[in-house]
């Protein structure tokens, strides 16, 4: 049979096209593409909807046939659209993302408690884990299942209350070094613009006896030094060196990570697209390589020191140090450990890069938002300073800091309103039924008190929305009011949020709660205590508009100064003036 005879037998080919195989090929190619597109469309918008177990849930109208509601998120600040939808549909609803994929959303504390306390059923989605692993490796923040339990068990001693009390002197040393840096920047008016802030002050921002300072950058340097000494017995000297390579690597990594574009989302959802490298991918890769290089240097130096002192090797009972790195190296080198007690070389490196990032970014980001919020509420700042000034000791104990009720209330309130991590993701690995504490009206008009999720359902853990929920905190949920935490019951309802700290979701809850939250809170209190006794923090007279940008953490950026990157410029005034 000839090609011409074959074409004559095929359907859907017009008679005038059967005389030419080339025309036939072209027509069939077009028809095949149309059939494929039709099939994709039917799958995306008909089949997925028809077979969705929770299709009765209401939700916002889809904004775009392909992008779903994604562009709505990109156009607004973190979690703002979700907060608006809660008011319309209740705390549980659904919406669509790219390619018509459905997403389950709940800010219902009962539902979240079920999800967070069944971490084996609801791990992080593979694409989320991959993005984090590319930056940090398979450390405790990324690992799932048995790997996570093993790593967490080995790391817990490094973050016990007793261990953290032993770190307090390091916190104070670096807090006072930061205080000296601020003082030097204010006194030396001719130090370079880049030293204090990435952009020069406007004329109205030049106030005698003060200085425009990017507090976020300097707080990040301080907390990087803290985790270096407290975690690895190594001083990164980020506060001391004007161009510190590790601090610069993190700055670039976060600047790239904050640019959440449609292309970046597509590459995360469809990894095959990563064969097309972008400037963002290149920057993250280079920055990650630098952090791993420094992490490996710490490991090599520690191992060499141990081998020099213990020529016959080490066993688990031997004391080689109490910092995080010592615990990690012992779990890697001790000859008498069982396999379930050991860490591989790659896992040790992953923990170091994880805590170099998470160990400083949570605290520095939280402190950034605390100082910004206090600059917006000078009465609260004055009240906090008066409480801190009432302490006679320049280096009070952690117990004394914990007894400062207003400081504690301010920290809780800012971490409620400006949680460093605004959200995280989970995915169900099996069909399950999630209970709801607050029933919601379904599309059929009936109330729903549970939601059936299929295997592979992705969902948002909306930390920021839960922390500002009117169902938990009452009508002033979005207002700054530290006094709510000075009442016997901070919450306006009896609703219990499944968080590990303060009826908040800031540090998550369940078995995947933040392992270092005690470390972060102690560090925040020490640094805030030192700074608030030394300076006043004011909004710049030019009143720049600060917007929130989120990736791994939620950091500030000045509108109109996007090219300068992430920053938090404040007017810093020494109290002596």
**Where is the binding site for heme, in residues?**
514
Measured between its terminal Cα atoms, the distance across the chain in Å is 98
Per-residue buried b or exposed e for 371-385, using 16+ beta carbons within 10 Å of the residue's own CB:
bbbbbebeebbebbb
Longest Cα–Cα distance of the chain, Å, equals 101
**Distance of alpha carbon 36 from its chain centroid, rounded?**
38
* Residues sharing a CB contact under 8 Å with residue 236, sequence separation 6 or more, in sequence order: 224, 225, 228, 244, 246, 247
Of the candidates 537, 536, 534, 524, the residue with the CA atom closest to the CA atom of residue 407: 524
Q: How far is CA 133 from the centre of its chain?
A: 14
Known binding residues: 514
Both structure tokens of 464: 């920021």
430-455 burial code (b ≥16 CB/10 A, e <16): eebebebbbebeeeeeeebeebebee
The token pair that represents 248 in the structure block: 């610069």
In three-state secondary structure terms, 569 is strand
Question: Residue 64 carries which DSSP code?
Answer: B
Please list the residues that pair with 93 across neighbouring strands. Answer: 105
| Pairing label, strands 92-96, 102-106 | antiparallel
Report how far Cα 206 is from the mean position of its chain's Cα atoms.
34
Residue ranges with strand state E in 41-169: 92-96, 102-106
Q: Reduced to 3 states, what is the DSSP secondary structure of residue 213?
A: strand
Closest CA to 505 of 474, 539, 547, 463: 463
| 73 in Cβ contact with 60 (< 8 Å) | no
Residue written as tokens 């508009």?
Answer: 545
Crossing angle of the two packed helices 378-389 and 345-376, in degrees rounded to 10: 110
């Amino acid at each position: 049979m000839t090609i011409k005879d074959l074409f004559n037998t095929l359907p859907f080919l017009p008679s005038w096209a059967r005389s030419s195989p080339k025309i036939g090929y072209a027509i069939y190619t077009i028809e095949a593409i149309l059939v494929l597109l039709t099939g994709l469309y039917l799958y995306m918008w008909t089949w997925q909807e028809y077979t969705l177990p929770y299709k009765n849930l209401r939700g916002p109208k889809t904004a775009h046939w392909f992008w779903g509601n994604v562009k709505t998120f990109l156009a607004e600040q973190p979690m703002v659209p979700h907060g608006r939808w809660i008011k319309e549909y209740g705390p549980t609803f659904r919406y669509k993302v790219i390619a018509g994929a459905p997403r389950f959303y709940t800010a219902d504390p009962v539902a979240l408690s079920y999800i967070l306390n069944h971490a084996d059923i609801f791990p992080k989605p593979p694409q989320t884990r991959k993005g984090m692993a590319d930056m940090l490796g398979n450390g405790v923040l990324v690992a799932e299942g048995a790997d996570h339990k093993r790593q967490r068990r080995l790391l817990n001693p490094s973050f016990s209350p007793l261990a953290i009390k032993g770190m307090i002197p390091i916190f104070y040393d670096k807090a006072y070094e930061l205080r000296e840096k601020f003082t030097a920047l204010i006194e030396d008016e001719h130090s370079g613009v880049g030293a204090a802030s990435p952009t020069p002050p406007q004329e109205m921002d030049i106030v005698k006896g003060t200085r425009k300072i990017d507090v976020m950058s300097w707080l990040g340097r301080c907390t990087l030094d803290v985790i270096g000494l407290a975690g690895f017995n190594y001083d990164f000297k980020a506060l001391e060196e004007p161009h510190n390579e590790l601090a610069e690597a993190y700055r670039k990594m976060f600047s790239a990570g904050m640019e959440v574009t449609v292309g970046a989302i597509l590459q995360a959802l469809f990894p095959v697209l990563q064969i097309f490298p972008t400037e963002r991918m290149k920057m993250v890769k280079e920055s990650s390589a630098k952090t791993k290089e420094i992490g490996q240097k710490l490991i090599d130096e520690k191992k060499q020191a141990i081998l020099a002192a213990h020529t016959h090797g080490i066993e688990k009972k031997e004391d080689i140090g109490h910092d995080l790195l010592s615990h990690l190296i012992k779990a890697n080198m001790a000859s008498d450990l069982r396999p379930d007690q050991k860490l591989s070389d790659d896992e040790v490196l992953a923990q170091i890069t994880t805590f170099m990032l998470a160990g400083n970014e949570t605290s520095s980001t939280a402190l950034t938002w605390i100082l910004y919020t206090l600059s917006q509420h000078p009465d609260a700042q004055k009240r906090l300073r008066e409480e801190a000034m009432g302490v006679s000791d320049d280096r009070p104990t952690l117990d004394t800091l914990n007894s400062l009720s207003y400081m504690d209330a301010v920290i809780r309130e800012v971490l409620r309103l400006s949680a460093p991590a605004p959200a995280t993701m989970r995915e169900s690995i099996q069909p399950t039924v999630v209970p709801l504490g607050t029933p919601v009206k379904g599309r059929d008009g009936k109330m729903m008190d549970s939601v059936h999720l299929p295997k592979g359902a992705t969902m948002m853990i909306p930390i920021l929305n839960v922390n500002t929920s009117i169902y938990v905190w009452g009508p002033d949920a979005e207002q700054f009011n530290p006094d709510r935490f000075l009442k016997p019951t901070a919450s306006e309802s009896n609703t219990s949020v499944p968080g590990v700290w303060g009826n908040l979701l800031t540090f998550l809850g369940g078995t995947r709660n933040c392992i270092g939250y005690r470390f972060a809170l102690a560090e925040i209190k020490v640094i805030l205590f030192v700074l608030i006794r030394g300076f006043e923090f004011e909004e710049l007279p030019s009143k720049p508009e600060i917007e929130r940008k989120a990736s791994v953490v939620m950091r500030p950026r000045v509108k109109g100064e996007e090219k300068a990157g992430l920053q938090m410029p404040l007017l810093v005034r020494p109290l002596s003036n």
